[in-house]
A and B are shown apart, each in its own frame.
Chain A
Amino acid sequence: MKSFPLIWSNLFRRRVRTFLTLFSIIAAFLLFGLLRSIAGAFEMGVNVAGVDRLMVSPKYSMVDGLPISHLAQIEAVEGVAGATHMTWFGGTYQNPTNFFPKFPVQPRVYFDLYSEYIIDPLQLDAFERIRTAAVAPADLAEEYGWQIGDRIPIEGDIWLRGDGSDLWEFELVGTYTVRDDESTFASFLFNYDYFDEARIPETQGIVSNFVVRVTDPDQAGEISARIDAQFENSINPTRTATEEESNRQFAAQVGDIGLIMNSILSAVFFTILLLTANTMTQALRERIPELAVLKTLGFTDRRVALLVLLESVLLCGLGGAVGIALSGFALQALGPELEGFLGQIEMTAATTLSGVGIALLLGVIVGLNPALSARRLQVVEALRK
């Protein structure tokens, strides 16, 4: 550690070069932070799925819908601890870029099943009691400036009202949060009973899917098979999978976002690796006589090599840390605009840590070769140069 001032002053001896290199590294890690967070927004729905929940969907297509009468049969299946239904509402709030999922649900059962959603018991009572009630995730309510008691108009597209109108109005009676705040697909929820009564009579009684909590997650496979067997020969057969699998399948429809992000990142890192390696080699070459002097003064081979290596690790680590921090700020500034397109984007601890880890690793890779040549340096030859 006492060599730190030496490493520091070596690093900033050629200020222009060091700063230019630093800025390149910062740019690379700024991209790393942004791209990983965006890719994360696509993967997030998969990670948050409850381990003890199954999703029962129509067998042939998610747009087909299932009759609500399936619910009683599902509840009777051995191994099922609880079940409810959800219906994809679609719809638009003010303009199409305000995207958030909206579902009519059975208030009490829904919050029982999604035990990670936390709501004030009085608000949950109100949600159950008031026909036109709705609840929203607290951050969504904050984003649109909704207060409890506000009326929120949603223009329907899939579901029209029996009175011929396509305008649905809900009264916000509560907000909820998600434990550990890991969820990104927290939804705008409203009362199914009201929805069902008000929609066009021919479409009544149809829901999108059922959510099932199982008694033993290890038996998810058997229970899924038992549920599907119930409906195999009905006119509305089902396909049951764990919530995680079902979210993953939907995310995969968009295409492999992760693959595209990773290809771009490899292009970026390959470039930065080459550039930084070049700078470090150059820095070392200039300093050969000096390193020889250090060795003459009694610095061991190992210590000289370490000095060179640490210099590179420090440069990359510094660049990485600043880059990641900048991407955090950028996401905060851009977040609300991007979220309209992509859902909630958050910079996770995993992204931060892996970014810093990669930065340090980059430092080691880049510094290794110069460090080894510094170690091999022969004092007499080097001084003669």
Chain B
Amino acid sequence: MLAQIFQISLLNLRNLPQRLGSSSVIVVGIGGVVAVLVAILAMAAGFSATLNRSGAPDRAIVLRGGSSSAELSSTIDNQSRQFVGTLDGVRLSSGELYTVADIPKRATLLPSNVVIRGVEQSAFEIRPEVRIIEGRNFNPGRNELIAGRAASEQFVGIDLGASVELRQSEWEIVGIFEADGSAYESELWTDLAIAQSAFRRFNTISSMRLQLEQPGVTDPLQEAFDINPSIDLAVTSEEEFFRSQSQFLTTLITGFGYGVALIMAVGAMFAALNTMYAAVSTRTVEIATLRALGFGATPVVVSVLAEAVALALIGGLLGAAVAWFGFNGYTVSTLNQGSFSQVAFDFAVSPDILVTGIVWALSLGLAGGLFPALQAARMPITRALRGD
């Protein structure tokens, strides 16, 4: 039996090139589904990876209490800031000013929200991944900026040595920094004091970054805030903060990808069915002859299924390859709803996503091959031999 299955399947697969035209329908159809699915999932994965990379377990972020969950709409006064710095469990703290400026995107030349972050020197100790790769760090007290690598790539005029106009004054870009491919690379950083005066914030800040004594332990801090009636602050672990920011868009893109791929898959499955019915019908005499020679029904079923699955696999691999070569590492920048600012990220075609794509391809091949295979096996031999 196994030998029969092997022989017929091999014979069938060898004959495939004769049905090249109609077979390509399965390959292209399923290839299209897999390419679209892999590309869209890679987009969602890239976006969430960029934001998730921005958080570290030993870091926490402090914002104004209440419903605000964004640095942009948060304000912290000097008294609260000093209170946080003295708490037990906080190893280091950095007061930061967070605002956005309109800078044209290179791709569209239209103004887009780019983050300007005013930081203290401790910000660099708290975030050791931030490294200057070109130029130098800004000097406190001067209109100098350092730009994340992605910001420099995505926005017009964010080049080392160039100057940009923010709030009626000229700022020189003196350095470019990297931050492990995190969302910080989409930002422009400057000295906190100079940012406070340029953006007229007096001595208020937007948020604080903390380095915790014990990674992930924020509850005692929140309790300390809650028992003090003059303090209205909320602390969140940095990982949680970025996870909740990425959730909305990641869910949206992933759902969209599966939805589109599902409808395409239905179309491709009907196309596969059509092709396999046609394949069975051109092989009518061949199949009947095999049956007359004593080959069983199962080897015939398997041979048709093998053909469908083989074509689906080729399609799946081609689609995955198209998505990989076309999109892996492709950088786009979008408005992150959570922070109301542009975040640049790379499409990330991961092995997981490729496996998902191939699984879809194989399932579609099986679905498209099953009924035609059963039909081939049920064919009355005598009539089929006459070629009816």
Residues of A within 8 A of B (CB): 16-17, 20-21, 23-28, 30-31, 34-35, 59-63, 90, 92, 155-158, 160, 164, 166, 235, 237, 248-249, 252-256, 264, 267-268, 270-272, 274-275, 278-279, 281-282, 341
Contact = CB atoms under 8 A, between A and B. Distances in A.
B263 A63 contact: no
Nearest to B202: A202
A324 B332 CA distance: 31
Contacts of A26: 267
B273 interface: yes
B274 A252 contact: no
B80 interface: no
Interface in B331-384: 332-335, 340, 342
A223 to B, nearest CB: 21
B113 A157 contact: no
Interface string B207-243: 0000000000000000000000000100000000000
Given A267-B35, A271-B267, A16 B101 contact: no
B292 interface: no
A264 to B, nearest CB: 6
B25 A278 contact: yes
Contacts of B167: 60
Contact of A61 (B66, B113, B334): B113
Contact of B270 (A27, A61, A166, A254): A27
A305 to B, nearest CB: 22
B29 A275 contact: yes
Contact of B102 (A62, A92, A156): A62
Contact of B266 (A23, A164, A264, A281): A23
Contact of B28 (A17, A21, A274): A274
Contact of B168 (A25, A166, A235, A249): A235
5 contacts: A17-B277, A253-B334, A264-B36, A274-B28, A278-B21
The 3 closest A-B pairs by CB, nearest first: A27-B267, A20-B274, A23-B270
Interface secondary structure of A, over-half rule: helix
Given A270-B32, A274-B25, A275-B271, 10 more contacts: A20-B270, A20-B271, A31-B267, A34-B263, A60-B102, A62-B113, A90-B73, A157-B69, A235-B168, A252-B110
Contacts of B168: 60, 235, 237
Contacts of B102: 59-62
Contacts of A255: 332-335
A131 to B, nearest CB: 23
Contacts of A16: 277
Contact of B274 (A30, A253, A279): A279
Contacts of A92: 67
A166 B333 CA distance: 33
A249 B277 contact: no
B197 interface: no
B72 interface: yes
Contact of A24 (B101, B270, B333): B270
Given A16-B277, A166-B67, A235-B168, A270 B332 contact: no
A156 B110 CA distance: 30
Contact of B268 (A60, A256, A271): A271
- Which of under 10, 10 to 19, 20 to 34, or 35 or more describes the interface residues of B? 35 or more
B252 interface: yes
Contacts of A279: 274
A248 B109 CA distance: 12
A90 B274 CA distance: 52
A92 B270 CA distance: 45
Contact of B68 (A35, A157, A164): A157
A156 B166 contact: no
B264 A21 contact: no
Nearest to A269: B32
B67 A157 contact: yes
Contact of A63 (B22, B99, B333): B99
Contacts of B35: 267
Contact of A268 (B111, B264, B278): B264
B25 A63 contact: no
Contacts of B271: 20-21, 24, 271, 275
A70 to B, nearest CB: 16
Contacts of B289: none
B28, B36, B267: most-surrounded residue (chain A CB, <10 A): B267
B101 A60 contact: yes
Contacts of A256: 107-108
B87 interface: no
A348 B178 CA distance: 46
Given A61-B113, A62-B113, A268-B264, A253 B342 contact: yes
Contacts of A30: 263
A309 B250 CA distance: 45
Given A28-B267, A267-B35, A155 B100 contact: no
Nearest to A266: B32
Contacts of B70: 157
B101 A61 contact: yes
Interface string B253-287: 00000001001101110110111011000000000
